[in-house]
A and B are shown apart, each in its own frame.
Chain A
Amino acid sequence: MAGSPGLAARRLVFVTGKGGVGKTTVAAALALAAAGRGLRTIVCSIAAEEHLGALFGSDALDHSERPLAEGVWGIAVEPRRARDEWLHYQLPAPLAALLARSRLLDHLGTLAPGLEELLAIGKVWEVSQPERIAAGAAPYDLAIVDAPATGHGLAVLSAPHTFAQIARVGPVRRHAEHIDRFLRDPAATAVIAVTRPEELPLLETLELATRLESALGRRLDLAVVNGVVPLRLTAAEAKRLAAAELDGAARKAATLALSERRVAVRHSAAAARLRRRGVPVSTLPQLPALDDDAARGEALAALARRLARVL
């Protein structure tokens, strides 16, 4: 068996996966687990919808780095702000200010291929550096990215490379190449996929593993499979239960238990399929509904304890 994926040793952990599988919850729990090890950790949301703040019982995040819990900070990267910051590093101040005001860039941001993605990942890269470019900003030990869904997530990871090809020379190219190298380096960056043990998310995860290899020459470090139904009945018990003469409520309960077992068997096969593909797997039970304010903190902490072993 492969050992722990060793996420805590990297500077950046990129969390992607199919929409609605629990990326944000897993990113938040990972951050808590890392903070529990004493690492100064920041979660960067670059998804369109920002739910991270709410998970920590705080307001929606914005482009400023804000404490969320003991040892955990959060930021929601806004491409436009990231762009203006970047212009200020690259250009003399008056020019940068002029460009920032110009509607030209707003339109380019809408349509230019990969520009928003490049700006988002560029900001995340900056946040993850041991020596920050942003004036007065303190470095973190670990940055965890709550990334957009798989397809778009991969576009974000490939944006530096895509852009480096379009801009053949100039500072954009140098900057993009620098970020690209960082994202490809397994010692610096980990990519993990959150998925569910169902056909479509599973296939998407397998495809992500393949595309990471072909597009970025790197592997998928971990698949977190959540919503895995545990196997409660042994095969022998299932057989005995199916054969038992039951009626009324007892029969209904038996039907439910047998149905649950079939699902559990399918789920463990799904996890096995990922392992056969060479992807390390960590399974989680059905993620708790984190919409209950009172129970949320404890539920998230419990998830963090479970996920601590992948650090």
Chain B
Amino acid sequence: MVAPGREQSLAKLVATRRVLLVCGLGGVGKTTVAAAIALAASRAGRPTVVLTIDPAPRLADALGVAHAPDDEPTPVAVASNAPLYALKLDPGRVFDRAVMRAVADPDARERILANRIYRQLSRVVAGSEEFTAMERLNELLDDERFELVIVDTPPSAHALDFLEAPTQVVSFLRSRTLAMLAGGGSLGARLAGRGARTALAALARAAGVEVLRELGEFFDALAGAAEQLAARSQRTHAVLTGAQTAVVAVTVPERRAVADTIAFMERVRELGMALGAVVANRVHDAHGLEATALADLQTALAAAVGENLARKVAAVAADHVRAAAHDQAALATLARWLAEHLEQDGDRPAFARLPLLESDVRSLAELERVAALLCGRDRA
């Protein structure tokens, strides 16, 4: 028998990794968890930056990025053992920078920036947040101010899109379609086969020649960029699947969320990434109250505050006890999965539970408490 692995701790993760990717479905509290982990890391003496995608205004305020220019790492006003920076992703700016870096010819750059298709593309493409978050991570890895980069990933239903988005963009840029469309469809069409020519003609008929011309111009200007972007995306991929990176999955204690999280974690492993921790957020705590003692509780309350109010308070307690039991049942599945899945280094991913708070985190003091709950107890 192999001895069961030790449970990893978040404190150890923040002390040893270079990148932590905080993932989860929308609305589970990813950004707060990412910010709290970042705070804990700076407490542990590591210069840290947290890349947020869409922080709630009051959390953004607490971090000091609410009014800072987007895309710029801004120091968080907190006394810590190492600098802590936060930044809000600006997909448009990062996308522009990435494309400009990849295109050598200044004329081509100008043509791209002026192209209507490009302007729409950089704003509208849904995958662009995924692509740009990874591109921004790439830039931050080269920034000597930071030892640890914490990435709050986009709230995507396909939680690992960000890993695949760069590959998709690159495979498109390398494809024959690009060659066909380059040169407004005319030069490319000569190189392409007859079927493709007819297809292009049909497309022109359906979509209007104008669109095709602009698409052609756009792809023509981008033609040289493929190799450059490919090299960068390979680097991102190597960093994400390397030992210096770990994934932190955030979930809530609901059966469907747990099932989604388990599917996500399996995908993480398939992709060769390390799973560092799972954080269950908003867990009801029964505070030691038990369902069997609720009748006695109501009697005790009635003596102090009267029958009517006692009934209401006991009802609140009963709901809470029920919710706590429900949460525990939902998380049991998660705990079981974690117990059965050792990471390559023989450790089990950390499993942290955060209690349901009265309100979302709005200040650094509240963030401090979350950080202590996540990383406080067992220091590495």
Contact surface of A with B, Cβ cutoff 8 Å: 18-21, 47-49, 87, 90-91, 95-96, 98-99, 102-105, 107-108, 110-114, 149, 152, 155, 162, 166-173, 196, 198-201, 203, 232-233, 237, 240-241, 244-246, 248-250, 252-257, 259-260, 262-263, 266, 289, 291
Contacts and interface: CB of A to CB of B under 8 A. Distances in A.
Given A262-B358, A266-B359, A167 B208 contact: yes
B202 A98 contact: yes
Contact of B172 (A18, A90, A107): A107
Contacts of B287: 252, 255-256
Q: Dominant SS at the A interface?
A: helix
B20 to A, nearest CB: 22
B379 interface: no
A67 B163 CA distance: 37
B199 A104 contact: yes
B300 interface: yes
Given A166-B211, A249-B297, 19 more contacts: A18-B27, A49-B157, A91-B206, A96-B202, A104-B177, A107-B172, A110-B172, A111-B172, A167-B208, A169-B208, A170-B208, A171-B206, A172-B211, A198-B359, A200-B57, A233-B309, A244-B304, A263-B359, A289-B256
Given A107-B172, A246-B301, A253-B317, A155 B124 contact: yes
Contacts of A244: 304-305
B106 interface: no
Q: Dominant SS at the B interface?
A: helix
B120 interface: yes
B202 A149 contact: no
Contacts of B304: 244-246, 250
B195 A98 contact: yes
Contacts, number: 182
A172 B309 contact: no
Given A253-B313, A257-B316, A166 B117 contact: yes
A98 B200 CA distance: 10
Most buried by B among A47, A149, A166, A233: A166
Contacts of B200: 104
Contacts of A105: 203
Given A113-B121, A266-B359, A291-B256, A167 B27 contact: no
A104 B207 CA distance: 13
Nearest to A95: B202
A110 B359 CA distance: 39
A98 B123 CA distance: 31
B358 A253 contact: no
A9 B302 CA distance: 51
A284 B157 CA distance: 24
Contacts of A155: 124, 126
Interface residues of B, number: 66
Nearest to A243: B305
Contacts of A98: 195, 198-199, 202
Interface of B: 25-28, 54, 56-58, 116-117, 120-121, 123-126, 155, 157-158, 168, 172, 175-178, 180, 195-196, 198-200, 202-203, 205-208, 210-211, 214-215, 254-256, 287-289, 293, 296-297, 300-301, 304-305, 309, 312-317, 320, 326, 358-360
B301 A254 contact: yes
Contacts of B256: 289, 291
Given A198-B360, A249-B293, A104 B203 contact: yes
Nearest to B314: A253
Contacts of B180: 104
Most buried by B among A19, A113, A250: A250
B377 to A, nearest CB: 23
B26 A289 contact: no
Contacts of A99: 199, 202-203, 206
13 contacts: A104-B180, A110-B168, A155-B124, A166-B120, A167-B207, A203-B56, A241-B313, A246-B301, A249-B288, A255-B287, A256-B313, A257-B317, A262-B358
Contacts of B317: 252-253, 256-257
B155 A19 contact: yes
A21 B208 contact: no
Nearest to B260: A49
A103 B207 contact: no
Contact of A107 (B26, B175, B288, B359): B175
Nearest to B304: A244
Contacts of A196: 27
B258 to A, nearest CB: 9
A277 B359 CA distance: 23
Most buried by A among B120, B180, B211: B211
A172 B222 CA distance: 26
A95 B198 contact: yes
A48 B26 CA distance: 13
Contacts of B254: 289, 291
Given A19-B27, A111-B125, A233 B195 contact: no
Contacts of A104: 177, 180, 196, 199-200, 203
Contacts of A47: 157
Contacts of B211: 166-167, 172
A19 B203 CA distance: 35
Given A21-B27, A113-B121, A232-B316, A152 B57 contact: no
Contacts of A200: 54, 56-57, 360
B316 A260 contact: yes
B206 A172 contact: yes
Nearest to B300: A250
A257 B155 CA distance: 33
A204 to B, nearest CB: 9
Given A200-B360, A291-B255, A252 B199 contact: no
